[in-house]
Chains A and B, each alone.
Chain A
């Protein structure tokens, strides 16, 4: 059974090279998490605080909020990259994180090899990836370029390659972070189709984005993050409206 069960989870980042004395008191800004100092006078950034989240098979959750509100950190918590510093995060199911398409891509090796390595990192086996390579190659439209080292690729070509790999896998839990831009419009239309297929295959989706349009296409419910906490949780439109209303009020007043 695919599920996510986060209880009272917090994520505090120690910042060892920051001067802790000047930040004795908790500083609260509009953007970003809270900055505080822990018992040993190490400056910590409270990236997430007291998060409660329960998701089940079939859920399509959108994460919205300011830059630095904790969306990406929450995704990393759900992926298991960060273990909570307090509370717990139980994630049941094979996770496929799509955060940064460039990471784990080696510029010196060929596109084909990069496809393989990326797939292995996403928990696929070599055999599975070899079976998918033709499909990925066709989708990327890179042709013979796939035999060239990645450093000869343009940014758009790299995004194609990375998208081709991540949309070919079969995840149980799909964690998407925004920033899948930098591709030409025609390609993006095709990528959207593939992205939708991928989301349909995945048991559970959590998607962080600033694009209302994309969110409406892919998600049904939403969480509004603010200062590392969940400010509101509910159906997508309701949360989006509240978030937008608040934005307008902030810019108007």
Chain B
């Protein structure tokens, strides 16, 4: 085929030219791990900016409402109480068991879902800023994760109230929930960054992401209690499939200590492994496509 041969010749010429060029020029900057790390580090250095923007996002949402951000807390309380009563009745579980389980699960889920679904729009939503002000793309992700952490903190008020109404058998070792949440944050950051970059290029991804997140909610034991099913011989085998759902382990490592339950080492291992693999994947994508985000938005 003559056309492909021509193309080959052209690419040869281009290669030659590149080779000649490398004599006088250093390697083109941008597509290496160093600049990917630099983006993350510089974004971190500008934390004054995204700290402020994250707060602003929260205040923004409830501007001119009398109660303000307390609405985050209230709506979480309403959802958890309503669903707690409903599912306690449906499953025939005692309320003091079902309600704390649902509440804590919901608080953790809100953080995970927020990171994934808002991650898919993190760069598109900030296209104005990205194309007008030079800043590391990571600041938008940091801002998102920080905002979700603030939501989480507001929801902890409901948890504190719950502890008074339904005391849990907490011990000092349950402070490991803090470490677990830190792991959640580390994972949330790479997910938001990765989903953000890919869905900036492929605009079909945000709706797909929303659907997947919604599906994950039902696949993850948040309103239904995994142990109940696992101890029921009729469905135990099928219920065990949930172990394959990574979100299950994310929820478990935080929920179990918050409810004073024994922890499973394998959940911690899985979440840590996902953090490592996820960040490695994200850095690969960052190396190659970080510079393209400004072109795609």
Per-residue CB contact flags for chain B residues 49-79 toward chain A (1 = under 8 Å, else 0) read 1001100100010010000000000000000
B294 touches A87 (CB 8 A): no
Residue on B nearest A83 in the bound complex, by CB: B291
Check B33 for interface membership: any CB of A closer than 8 A.
no
Nearest chain B CB to A71 CB, angstrom units: 15
Chain B CB within 10 A, most for which of A86, A100, A104, A109: A104
The stretch that binds A, out of B131-139, B158-166, B226-234, is B131-139
Interface membership of A121, Cβ < 8 A:
yes
Q: In the complex, are the beta carbons of B25 and A95 less than 8 A apart? A: no
Interface secondary structure of B, over-half rule: helix
Residues A83 and B52 in contact, CB atoms below 8 Å apart: no
Establish whether residues A81 and B56, one from each chain, have CB atoms under 8 Å apart when the complex forms: no
Q: Cβ of A76 < 8 Å from any Cβ of B?
A: yes
With A83-B291, A117-B56, A120-B49 already in contact, the answer to whether A104 and B132 are too (CB < 8 A) is yes
Query: Given A88-B29, A97-B133, A108-B63, do A126 and B48 touch, yes or no (CB 8 Å)?
Result: yes
> Do A121 and B135 touch across chains, with their CB atoms under 8 A apart?
yes
Given the known interface contacts A81-B134, A97-B133, the answer about A120 and B295 at a Cβ–Cβ threshold of 8 Å is no
Given the known inter-chain contacts A116-B52, A117-B53, A121-B49, please indicate yes or no for A104 contacting B133, CB distance below 8 A.
Answer: yes
The answer to whether B132 touches A13 (Cβ under 8 A) is no
Q: For the complex, is A79 an interface residue (Cβ under 8 Å from B)?
A: yes
A109–B134 CB distance below 8 A = no
Q: Give residues of chain B (9-30) contacting chain A, Cβ–Cβ below 8 Å.
A: 21, 25-26, 28-30
Contact A103 B132 (CB under 8 A): yes
| A106 contacts across to B, CB distance below 8 A | 56, 60
Interface contact A84-B132, CB-CB below 8 Å: no
B56 touches A97 (CB 8 A): no
Specify which chain A residues have a CB less than 8 angstroms from the CB of B129 in the assembled complex: 103-104, 121
A123 to B48, CA, bound (A): 10
Report if B167 contacts A (CB, 8 A): no
Number of interface residues of B (CB under 8 A): 26
Instruction: State the Cβ distance, B134 to closest chain A Cβ, in Å.
Output: 4
Closest to B7 in A: A39
Does A243 belong to the interface (CB within 8 Å)?
A: no
Given contacts A88-B29, A106-B56, contact A100 B291 (CB under 8 A): no
B52 touches A120 (CB 8 A): yes
Q: In this assembly, does A7 line the interface, its C-beta being within 8 Å of a C-beta of chain B? A: yes
B295 touches A82 (CB 8 A): yes
Task: With CB as the reference atom, state the residue of chain A lying closest to B53.
Answer: A117
| Interface members, chain B 82-137 (any A CB < 8 Å) | 128-135
B26: chain A residues at CB < 8 Å are 88
Which B residues touch A82, using CB under 8 A? 291, 294-295
- A120 nearest CB neighbor, chain B only: B49
Asked whether A80 is an interface residue with its Cβ less than 8 Å from the other chain, the reply is yes
- Residues A103 and B28 in contact in the complex (CB < 8 Å), given A82-B295, A120-B49, A125-B48: no
- Partner of B28 from A87, A95, A97, A126 at Cβ < 8 Å: A87
Complex CA–CA separation, A164 to B296 (angstroms): 32
Chain B residue nearest to A101 (CB atoms) is B132
Q: How many angstroms from the CA of A79 to the CA of B134 in the assembled complex? A: 6
In angstroms, Cα B133 to Cα A116, docked, is 15
Contacts of B52 in A (CB 8 A): 116-117, 120, 126
Q: Which residues of B contact A76 (CB under 8 A)?
A: 131, 294
Docked complex Cα distance between A188 and B213 (Å): 52
What A residues does B30 contact at CB under 8 A? 83-84
State A126–B53 Cα separation when bound (angstroms).
13
Given the known inter-chain contacts A14-B295, A120-B46, A120-B49, please indicate yes or no for A88 contacting B28, CB distance below 8 A. Answer: yes
Instruction: Collect the chain A residues with CB atoms within 8 Å of residue B291's CB.
Output: 82-83
Q: List 7 A-B contacts (CB under 8 A).
A: A81-B294, A88-B26, A97-B134, A121-B49, A121-B135, A122-B133, A126-B48
